[in-house]
Amino acid sequence: MRYGKLITVMIPCLCFQREGRLQVTKDNSWTQYLNQKWNRDIVIEETAKFPQLTPQSESEQRPHKVSFFVEEVKAMEIMNVLSERLEKCGLDVKIIYSSGIALDILPQGAGKGQALAYLLKNFKVDGKVPINTLVCGDSGNDAELFSIPEVYGVMVSNSQEELLQWYAQNAKNNPNIIHATERCADGIIQAIGNFCLGPNVSPRAIKDFQKCKVDIFSLGHEVVKFYLFYERWRRAEVVSSEQYVQNLKSVFYPLGIFVHPSGVEQPFHQCIDSMTRLYGDKQGHRFRIWVDRVSCAQIGSDTWLVKFDKWELSGDELQCGVTTVLLSLKQAEVPDGFTWVHMHQTWLDGSRARDQTVICF
């Protein structure tokens, strides 16, 4: 996602996207900050004295986080005693209990809230402060995210009781924080719509993209729009209109080439003509198309390379092709601002190709 839009994800390293390329950089100053009054070996040594603590899997352990399972009836007593012992050892830690079973021990300066504050501070120094930031949570260890000023927040409907208690005591009257009526990702989508941060419906739910103008720079969105139209065209779920065909040709470079997985090359406009003749051929049939693993890289001042998996379900047959598309902003008169310059598909390993007399997208 480009700077100046929306932050929705937190990860241990800082992720920057410049000129369309995702760069993951380890932040040594953040590591040094977390190391203050923290010694993981001492934490392991002291927690080993509590047989009630069951270590979580290795995948849940971090250099600055030690995680256990413990029964709720024993948690509070252990937390109090353990906190005193670690303090006597010269450590300054925070102990977080969530979901009625999970106990995490972290440096006092660690946690999602501090990480977010640190990230926003770095964005400010870099002159790239996001217009909006949305934090999302469902358990007690997410609470501190909602205490960061000037962020939007959503607690999904299936949040744990400890987070809902925190919300009732600290944030119920905060207009920038809501308790969603929807579960999981649906709750996040609900919040995006509630705060007017961006599109909050699935592209499949949008019947007319021309009436859905979204202020978002997303080449992946353009790819999804095209393949949904292609699916609807073959299912006869849109009107068979010459205007649609002409609009489609206007966003495909006249001299552009589509390379089919079979190796056959066809001009874009010939592919569109072939597609036109297939109108309604899948009507009443089991036919779906979707894209996955979309990635974009800017390779020029006005040119992007978009790569994704294109899945097609026809009857009981499922196949997938890895697709690479070259998109350009050169032609300002194009309605959506993008020109499809070149497309190349190859079969994903294990995907079986069908014999096709007509090559199309």
Task: Please spell the DSSP secondary structure of 252-274, one letter per residue.
Answer: EEEEEEEE-TTS-EEEHHHHHHH
For each of the domains in the chain, give its residue range(s) and CATH number, in order of start: 6-30+111-194 (3.40.50.1000), 37-107 (3.90.1070.10), 205-347 (3.10.450.50)
* The pairing of beta strand 177-179 with beta strand 102-107: unpaired
pTM value is 0.56
Question: Across 23-27, 60-64, 182-186, 353-357, which has the greatest mean pLDDT?
Answer: 60-64
* The pairing of beta strand 177-179 with beta strand 132-137: unpaired
The kind and range of the H/E element at 291 are strand 287-300
* pLDDT 10s digits, 257-279: 999 988 899 999 999 999 999 99
Phi/psi at 227 (nearest 5 deg)?
A: -70, -25
Instruction: Find out whether 107 and 94 touch, Cβ atoms under 8 Å.
Output: yes
| Mean pLDDT over the full length of the chain | 84
pLDDT of residue 342: 95
pLDDT band at 8 (very low <50, low <70, confident <90, very high): very low
Percent of the chain with pLDDT over 90: 50
pLDDT band at 153 (very low <50, low <70, confident <90, very high): very high
